[in-house]
Structure 1
């Protein structure tokens, strides 16, 4: 396994994890980075770097981000975000795997991509539910801002410093796990 392969796996894990915080933001970031030739995509997924995908993903990202600031809509988005996060995790992981066999790409995309996206989405859904119950929804904008900020940070790190992104993913998961253990 060469350095390029390791970096593409780290890129995929970082973006997939960010998909657990916001579904469309990391996919948009991937599209933008590919459009400007910052990162290569698997040739089967090259369409993500095209202008139509970039525009569509940008619009979806804006609606998703602002939707999380609207009471009731935020909880509705959480309901549909879990399966969408799994799909987004698969997509970003598959599309970033360069020079890896299709079988290995699919296995990594299912386990690492969909798995990390779904794990973080589950944690964010639980956090939003706890916020809704404890603050009658008044704390949800703070949660939304933190989730969006985390998705932006993870996406940026994944694209420019993929190994650091994976380290941050492990740290975030550890902190969230620690917080939930303290709350019990």
Structure 2
């Protein structure tokens, strides 16, 4: 089983990608030394405290669990401040079919929905995903983008080749 602890593999890769490691500042909180980062203003705890349907401009979360009841994919996400349930659109899993526990997602403009006053969840579509890092720290986004570009480049080359054959025939 893969680890789903923040501070390992994918979480560290995400911090390096977003350059958050350089922005940590130490400050005293009572008798403890704590870390502060203004770039981490949006967290799961922030969402829970806000308690209103909205869009969060930026959120980094780790996949704690994945379940597939019927046609939708339910998951539990976590960050250092807590946990929140979420739903992944089917196209997310089509693109990131290797998504598993311990992987980290950097989300943008993600919707927070409240089906009732005491529960909230994240609704995640393909457009909400900025980056995905595997539990090993690999950038899965770059991998899927490269595969898609390769397919697109093949189609473009095929079209150019068939067009050039067509032009030679006309001459």
- The TM tier, using the shorter chain, reads under 0.3
Instruction: Name the structure, 1 or 2, with higher relative contact order (CA <8 Å, separation 6+).
Output: 1
> Which protein has the larger Cα radius of gyration, Structure 1 or Structure 2?
2
TM-score (norm 2): 0.28
TM-score normalised by length of structure 1: 0.26
More helix by percentage: 1
Which structure's residues are more often strand, by fraction?
2
